[in-house]
Chain A
Amino acid sequence: MVSTPNGFDLDNTGKRIVVDPVTRIEGHMRCEVNVDEQGVIRNAVSTGTMWRGLEVILKGRDPRDAWAFTERICGVCTGTHALTSVRAVEDALGIQIPDNANSIRNIMQLNLQIHDHIVHFYHLHALDWVNPVNALKADPKATSELQQMVSPSHPLSSPGYFRDVQNRLKKFVESGQLGLFKNGYWDNPAYKLPPEADLMATTHYLEALDLQKEVVKVHTIFGGKNPHPNWLVGGVPCPINVDGVGGVGAINMERLNMVESIINKCIEFNKNVYVPDVIAIGGFYKNWLYGGGLSSKACLAYGDIPENANDFSAEQLHLPRGAIINGDLSTVYDVDPRDPEQVQEFVDHSWYEYGEPGKGLHPWDGETSPKFELGPNAKGTRTNIKELDEGAKYSWIKAPRWKGHAMEVGPLARYIVGYAKGHEEITDQVNGLLRTMDLPVDALFSTLGRTAARALESEYCGRLQKHFFDKLVTNIKNGDSSTANVEKWDPSTWPAEAKGVGMTEAPRGALGHWIKIKDGRIENYQCVVPTTWNGSPRDAAGNIGAFEASLLNTPMERPEEPVEILRTLHSFDPCLACSTHVMSPDGDELTTVKVR
């Protein structure tokens, strides 16, 4: 038994269980746990199993192009890296964006939050709680009654509607070709929903699949496509023309109307389906309050959605900024991404080396030299790993720390920071939810708390989207159609050297890009992303990261079926392609090439 400095007891003597691949996430991930004789998780090891080296690739490129490269870090949270990147470049070069560009960027970022949260809940997370096979036993009439009770204003609630979906599902299951549901853990007692709730939620899985393709059209209008819309250093690429010649090729009244109608669809879905589903499903799992991990101890949020263009002061951000450490919710620290003592990355247990143990580096000075090696206690071989040795290096993810603390980031961290700061909307939402579900505030610190915070945030983001749409229209009405500031577009106007930082709240949490520019080119580029925080391996002091902490002390119904592990890991919405990006500042050749 080992006690970690951040307050967790680890015991790796019990049976080792390996989950690889962890599915229904973005990217590639492995998880190993030890369970005791009662099947309770007593040790957890999370491993990022991919590395793409994107920041190595950025070196020497035009900073105005960086958004497109970094956007390809992730196609799920598409756009958020691009926004972070243009902010970093604008910060470095002192570029002020127009008000309309701020509103449009906010609408796009909020739109992503909503899209990502909905897709996460229904298509990546729901199957941890919802059993589509059990839905076959449901009575459509009772399902209809349940739907009308849970969400009286949702128009799709007739018994016939649910019967049709059930029939389709039934034929699908009876075909024997279960497709995506194949080999699921459908007879595991961890699934607690009555058949009617399973049918309702499975139906919404399909409704959400139809809806999400509508939601993203906001990106298509302003950015030309989704996934991976286009962005611009200095503003946004889409011009506004509501009066003159050629308005059909710009943001005009028709385009604005379309944006507004989609914003309303988002608001409706959150209100009628998403939030009620989370409350209804959560209600059946109220006794399953595991998975809190770091959330009650250490949370970090950079904040986002500036009310006014170019003003990133904490009080002007709609999504809160702040850090909580040592479980003390009475003090929320401010966060300064430029302070070399605050955000640092460590690699003692990551497949990189710094040359000296226990060394932490601020992202502006970040460096990376990959070093893939397994520890002495690992089982298997270098290319056929059976068990990892967490005492040594064991992940492609670095370990970022805030003032030395492992931190949780994401919707729950944002909501805990917001709640602790007395953020009005967030406090109202959280109190309302707890009252509805008859739960104490401590219930927030759990897997379900994470899942609920995401739903509440989606609802809040829907309202904010509307706010910025109104703001955009008002501004246009007042005669301002500007969308880009091109004063410093030409690199000849730039200083010889500059450095900047861009921050956003990505759907999965605090995201930062640090850039150094020299002679018009990228000299160094470093991303510290949400899943790097949450999925971080141990550090030299032995602190464990958020994924690992959250799995501890969770009982498993059947240790060989990882339903509970998936439940809690998915509650973070892991994004592994995001988490593993680092840059070698000297651009050294990283490894020798072996073509197989």
Chain B
Amino acid sequence: MTNTEGQIETFYDVMRRQGITRRSFMKYCSLTAAALGLSPSFVPKIAHAMETKPRTPVIWVHGLECTCCSESFIRSAHPLAKDVVLSMISLDYDDTLMAAAGHAAEAAFEETIEKYKGNYILAVEGNPPLNEDGMFCITGGKPFVEKLKHAAKDAKAIISWGACASYGCVQAAKPNPTQATPVHKVITDKPIIKVPGCPPIAEVMTGVITYMLTFDRLPELDRQGRPAMFYSQRIHDKCYRRPHFDAGQFVETWDDENARKGYCLYKMGCKGPTTYNACSTVRWNEGVSFPIQSGHGCIGCSEDGFWDQGSFYDRVTDLTQFGVEANADKVGLAAAGVVGAGVAAHAAISALKTAQRKVQDNKKKEEA
């Protein structure tokens, strides 16, 4: 963030002005490092970044959505939502939370764009519908898509919050009656960070913002435009119930003995094997739980088009998507039969899976 605007202060300035001591500031930096999964050696680097970087204005707009992303955002525990809003960013426009309305709100919107041209972050929750001339979502008497394009024009970068902005989500499920359209299909000339999920995990949301403020750059993105630090592994890869999967121990019906023993939910339709997200590692609401831990399979809410992949209770069978897991039944039989053979089979299958993943990655590269 180039400090072209003299009036934008550094993060550290703001914290000091707000009566935060140097010591608390350093503690804050180490918490940030921990939240981002970085080693303590990064703490001085974060501190340095915060002492020299400006407090960034954010415009947060809402299209067709359900506001679950905003609700998730305010659940953030580290950093706390109040600290983000009071001390880290300047949330200059957000129709869900701002005091002003109508003309005064619109004025705040325009003033922010004008004053911080090229220096503000545009956060988008929801998406624009394109049918009916865009009038399935009206704001200020005009189609939301116009407001989105207007705000995007001078934004430094765009964050697509959640499944709606990233992929379309529920209103874009078939037959998508309003032609709800993800942000990157409407805005094509700006860097866009997709933070999918319905909603995304709170600390993932604040983690993405904090990363940008701290390191003065966009997080490393995967081919789909998602931050690799949170979305590069499947829920299944790090699921604490994975050993039950590997051992062929599955829940067969809701609330059966196996459910009470915490066995794998694969047969109940869990989409963990095909879903890239941080639920099984960061977990939800300050690490209290995540869907699988509370007995329901993952419904795959951070994947593109997850509403149209059959029932949430259909077993995942898409071999090309995830490889070995489709053989769960066979693995289960082997484990129940001869333990030694099961282990051998598992080792062989793991090797196979590695090979298969390479093939898939190559395929994805080709597609991309």
Contact = CB atoms under 8 A, between A and B. Distances in A.
Contacts of A239: 255, 259-260, 295
B18 interface: yes
Given A57-B173, A179-B92, A228 B64 contact: no
A7 interface: no
Contact of B255 (A56, A167, A484): A484
Q: Is the interface of B mostly helix, strand, loop or mixed?
A: loop
A250 B92 CA distance: 43
B291 A224 contact: yes
A492 interface: no
Interface residues of A, number: 117
Nearest to A62: B311
B66 A486 contact: no
Nearest to B261: A246
B351 interface: no
A190 to B, nearest CB: 13
Given A75-B68, A209-B81, A28 B254 contact: no
Chain A CB within 10 Å — which of B99, B132, B171 has the most? B99
B212 interface: no
Q: Is the interface of A mostly helix, strand, loop or mixed?
A: loop
Contacts of A312: none
Interface in B125-179: 129-146, 169-171, 173-179
B326 to A, nearest CB: 21
Contact of A383 (B70, B86, B99, B133): B133
Interface residues of B, number: 109
Given A56-B177, A164-B19, A209-B82, A181 B99 contact: yes
Contacts of A174: 17
Contact of A593 (B96, B98, B130): B130
B155 to A, nearest CB: 17
A24 B57 CA distance: 20
Given A54-B171, A486-B254, A180 B85 contact: yes
B107 interface: yes
Chain B CB within 10 Å — which of A62, A124, A229, A383 has the most? A383
B131 A591 contact: yes
Interface stretch (B225-233, B282-290, B337-345): B282-290
Nearest to B136: A51
Nearest to B313: A64
A167 B98 contact: no
A226 B296 CA distance: 14
B77 A213 contact: yes
26 contacts: A24-B96, A26-B66, A28-B139, A28-B144, A49-B138, A54-B171, A57-B171, A62-B313, A72-B169, A75-B65, A75-B67, A175-B55, A177-B90, A182-B93, A221-B289, A226-B284, A226-B285, A235-B255, A372-B132, A384-B142, A489-B253, A577-B66, A587-B175, A591-B132, A593-B179, A596-B145
**Which 7 pairs show the lowest CB-CB distances between chains A and B?**
A249-B262, A75-B68, A246-B261, A224-B291, A184-B99, A224-B294, A53-B177
Given A24-B98, A50-B64, A209-B80, 10 more contacts: A52-B136, A61-B311, A69-B307, A78-B71, A172-B86, A184-B99, A184-B100, A209-B81, A237-B294, A483-B254
Interface of A: 18-28, 30, 49-54, 56-57, 61-62, 64-65, 68-69, 72-76, 78, 119, 123-124, 127, 164, 167-168, 171-172, 174-177, 179-185, 206, 209-210, 212-213, 216-217, 219-230, 232, 234-241, 244-250, 258, 370, 372, 380, 382-386, 396, 481-484, 486, 489, 560-562, 566, 577, 587, 589-596
